[in-house]
């Protein structure tokens, strides 16, 4: 290997060693001082700039891998993890390239070998685009630009100085290189190898210790548990109010998802790959544009208006059949009709343009609002302020639409004269995003087999949901058998999922269980509408197809055990 190539390889190694340390320091900066975390901001920006399908594709493949490895049972966690891994790898690769470039530049530069200035200059040059991008996309850091500039200036000047130091140490006595030219056992002289090993070891140690430190901090940061329902049979919400269907005789099969999702288990999906937006202490909501009365309301003012309260199931359009991106809780807020009443849209206003603190945007047509008093500006979930991850202080609810049409972290509402495509619609997702009927088997409870009239029965259960349309029946099929009707538990409300249960006459062995649902006929028709059976992926309009499970169902343990 010639000197030049060898030096570039050393540059790559140094870049590979230093970058994780830099990422760790940024991670700690985020944890302790809410400073931006550049790898995530950068990836966020890349994700917004590249075509949506490319990123979705990349994330989907990684989610498959994570779930395949058993690292994520929970789809939204897996998606976040996938995004973060991609962000870290991207940043690391750029760091490796920066190492190579620096060594190349420094080799070529006719500046005094000991001079640190080129190193610092290079570091700042590498950092500048990342910092600029972070300024453009980061919404979570409350730190002022001056503090951010100082922090990243320091970090990148430090990186540059460290690169210079490593280059200096490694290129020292480059003439000696010639000696080992023909020695293929030890291409790198021992002192260099030792140097690289030491730098590698030190950076690995720093990274592990730093990540541990940051991890510890986040472990203590979790939201306090407000409600602790274990299975589907909660009788009250977490404030102790009885749930509307508490007296329903149909009990969920053991292992069915909680009918009322504990808020801290509610799924989360948004365009932020790192932290959460920071919401100002003195938050107010400006409503302006084509209205008679422009207003700027405090949260208290909004909460004094007549409120409504609804049990609502929300799903992400990216939820796969049987996926976890769907949850149910009680929403409290103000009908947008109340708001129209107060602001008086002018005649040419046709839509509201809503902007979130992450710069997510969506449009809501005024005609839709005028026809549907249920469309609301929500401030509570489960009788408590929205958690920051789920949109504090205000978010939108629109019945029968997937989550992508319903902004969180609302910063402003502008009345405009044109209805334009919102954030996800511009990226190729369905403009209407109307919910498609779905049904899921949560459990084949062979640990809860019971005997009835001399027949062993296995409780099977799950949920069915069709937005705001009623679920009229759910059917289960075992292997190639007949479709059998399940019992339906009354839902928590007209927009909440329906918990169902089917008690199946047990037969031992491996079986294939399939579920389907029917929703109420549209107005003027009499036949219930079957769930779409044809399999389709989530993009662009939401997944369709039947959920099925293959399970080995075992005979319960014989009562006269032969075990010692």
Ligand X SMILES: Nc1nc2c(c(=O)[nH]1)N[C@H]1C(S)=C(S)[C@@H](COP(=O)(O)O)O[C@H]1N2
Rounded to whole angstroms, how far apart are CA atoms 75 and 77? Answer: 5
Smaller CB separation from ligand X, 52 or 528: 52
CA distance 421 to 182: 65
Tell me whether residue 37 or residue 327 sits nearer to ligand X (CB atom): 327
What is 22-85 written as a DSSP string?
HHHHHHHHHHHH----HHHHHHHHHHHHS-HHHHHHHHHHHHHHHHHTTS-SSHHHHHHHHHHH
Structure tokens that stand for 95 in this block: 């760091």
**DSSP string of 506-549?**
---EEEEEEEEEEEPPPTT--SPEEPP-S-B-STTT--BS-EEE
Q: How far is the CB of 519 from Mo ion (least distance, A)?
A: 21
For the bound state, the minimum distance from the C-beta of residue 343 to ligand X, rounded and expressed in Å, comes to: 21
Least distance to ligand X from the beta carbon of 488, Å? 25
The listed partner (ligand X, Mo ion, none) that binds 391, CB under 5 to 8 Å by sort, is ligand X
Residue 98 and residue 88: Cα distance in Å, rounded? 15
31 binds, options ligand X, Mo ion, none, Cβ within 5 to 8 A by partner type: none
With CB under 5 to 8 Å by kind, the binding choice for 340 among Mo ion, ligand X, none is none
Distance CA 353, CA 363 (A): 5
H or E element that contains 334 = strand 326-335
Binding range to Mo ion, per CB under 5 A, among 58-66, 230-238, 246-254, 404-412:
404-412
Return the number of the residue (66 or 269) whose C-beta is nearest Mo ion. Answer: 269
| Nearest to ligand X of 404, 464 (CB atom) | 404
d(CA 319, CA 439) in angstroms, rounded, equals: 12
Considering the rule CB under 5 A, would residue 404 count as an interface residue with Mo ion?
Answer: yes
Applying CB under 6 A, the residues found at the interface with ligand X are 266-271, 316, 356, 358, 360, 390-391, 403-404, 406-409
- 59 forms part of the interface with Mo ion (CB under 5 A): no
User: Which of Mo ion, ligand X, none interacts with 379 (beta carbon under 5 to 8 A by kind)?
Assistant: none
Q: Please say whether the beta carbons of 476 and 509 come within 8 A.
A: no
Closest to ligand X by CB, 258 or 391: 391
Q: Which stretch binds Mo ion (CB under 5 A): 116-124, 200-208, 400-408, 414-422?
A: 400-408
DSSP code, position 140 = S
Q: Which option in ligand X, Mo ion, none does residue 390 bind, with CB closer than 5 to 8 A by kind?
A: ligand X
119 or 542: CB nearest Mo ion: 542
State the Cα–Cα distance between residues 235 and 183, nearest whole angstrom. Answer: 77
Whole-angstrom CA distances from 351 to 118, 202, 219, 369, 414 are 54, 57, 42, 9, 8
Interface residue with Mo ion, options 403, 461, 467, 493 (CB under 5 A): 403
* Residue 274 Cβ vs ligand X, minimum distance, rounded to whole Å: 13
Residue closest to Mo ion when measured from CB atoms: 316
CB of 388 to ligand X, least distance (A): 10
Smallest distance, Å, CB 496 to Mo ion? Answer: 18
Q: Which parts of 302-321 interact with Mo ion (CB under 5 A)? A: 316
Instruction: Kindly give the interhelix angle for 145-171 and 117-137, rounded to the nearest 10 degrees.
Output: 140
Nearer to ligand X, 169 or 355 (CB): 355
Q: Does 272 contact Mo ion by CB under 5 A?
A: no
Residue 446: strand, helix, or coil: helix
Euclidean distance between CA atoms 187 and 42, whole angstroms = 37
Give the contact letters, 316-355, x = binds to Mo ion (CB under 5 A), - = no.
x---------------------------------------
Comparison of 28 and 75: residue with beta carbon closer to Mo ion:
75
Name the residue nearer to ligand X (CB basis): 381 or 513.
381
Separation between Cα atoms, residue 239 and residue 330, nearest integer Å: 11
Query: Please, what is the minimum distance in Å from the beta carbon of residue 278 to ligand X?
Result: 14
Is there binding between residue 269 and Mo ion (CB under 5 A)? yes
CB-based contacts of 371: which residues, under 8 Å, 6+ apart? none
Question: CB-wise, 266 or 511, nearer to ligand X?
Answer: 266
Which residues of this protein are in contact with Mo ion, per CB under 5 A? 269, 316, 403-404
């Amino acid at each position: 290997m010639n000197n030049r190539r060898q030096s570039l390889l050393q540059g790559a190694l140094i870049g590979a060693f230093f970058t994780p340390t830099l990422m760790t320091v940024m991670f700690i900066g985020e944890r302790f001082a809410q400073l931006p975390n550049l790898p995530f901001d950068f990836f966020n920006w890349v994700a917004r700039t590249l075509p949506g399908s490319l990123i979705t594709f990349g994330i989907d493949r990684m989610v498959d891998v994570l779930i395949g490895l058993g690292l994520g049972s929970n789809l939204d966690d897996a998606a976040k993890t996938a995004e973060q891994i991609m962000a870290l790898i991207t940043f690391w690769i750029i760091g490796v390239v920066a190492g190579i470039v620096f060594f190349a530049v420094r080799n070529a530069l006719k500046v005094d070998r000991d001079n640190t200035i080129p190193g610092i200059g290079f570091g700042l040059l590498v950092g500048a685009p990342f910092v600029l991008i972070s300024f453009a996309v980061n919404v979570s850091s409350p730190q002022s630009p001056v503090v951010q500039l100082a922090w990243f200036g320091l970090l990148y000047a430090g990186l540059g100085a460290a690169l210079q130091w490593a280059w200096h140490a490694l290129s020292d006595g480059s003439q000696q290189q010639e000696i080992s030219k023909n020695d293929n056992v030890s291409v790198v002289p021992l002192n260099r190898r030792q140097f690289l090993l030491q730098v590698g070891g030190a950076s690995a140690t720093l990274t592990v210790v730093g990540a541990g430190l940051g991890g510890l901090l986040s472990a203590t940061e979790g939201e306090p548990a407000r409600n602790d329902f274990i299975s589907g049979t909660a009788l009250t919400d977490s404030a102790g109010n009885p749930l509307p269907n508490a007296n329903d005789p149909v009990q969920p099969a053991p292992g069915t998802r909680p009918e009322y999702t504990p808020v801290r288990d509610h799924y989360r999906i948004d365009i932020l790959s790192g932290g959460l937006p920071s919401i100002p202490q003195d938050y107010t909501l400006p409503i302006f544009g084509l209205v008679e009365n422009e207003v700027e309301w405090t949260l208290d003012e909004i909460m004094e208006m007549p409120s409504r309260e609804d049990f609502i199931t929300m799903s992400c359009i990216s939820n796969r059949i049987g996926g976890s991106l769907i949850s149910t809780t009680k929403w409290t807020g103000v009908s947008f009709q109340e708001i129209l009443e107060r602001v008086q849209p002018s005649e040419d206003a046709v839509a509201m343009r809503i902007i979130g603190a992450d710069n997510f945007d969506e449009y809501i047509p005024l005609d839709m609002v005028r026809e549907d008093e249920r469309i609301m500006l929500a401030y509570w979930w489960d009788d408590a302020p929205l958690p920051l991850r789920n949109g504090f202080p205000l978010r939108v609810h629109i019945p029968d639409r997937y989550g992508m049409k319903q902004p969180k972290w609302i910063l402003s509402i502008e009345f405009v004269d044109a209805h334009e495509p919102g954030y996800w619609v511009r990226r190729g997702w369905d403009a209407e995003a109307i919910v498609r009927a779905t049904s899921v088997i949560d459990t084949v409870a062979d640990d809860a087999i019971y005997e009835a009239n001399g027949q062993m029965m296995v409780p099977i259960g799950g949920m069915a949901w069709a937005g705001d349309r009623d679920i009229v029946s759910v059917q289960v099929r075992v292997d190639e058998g007949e479709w059998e009707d399940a019992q339906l538990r009354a839902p928590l409300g007209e927009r909440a999922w329906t918990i169902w249960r089917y008690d199946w006459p047990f037969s031992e062995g491996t079986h294939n269980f399939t579920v389907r649902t029917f929703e109420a006929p549209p107005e003027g028709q009499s036949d219930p509408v079957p769930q779409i059976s044809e399999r389709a992926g989530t993009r662009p309009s939401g997944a369709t197809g039947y959920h099925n499970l293959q399970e080995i169902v075992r005979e319960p343990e014989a009562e006269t055990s032969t075990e010692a």
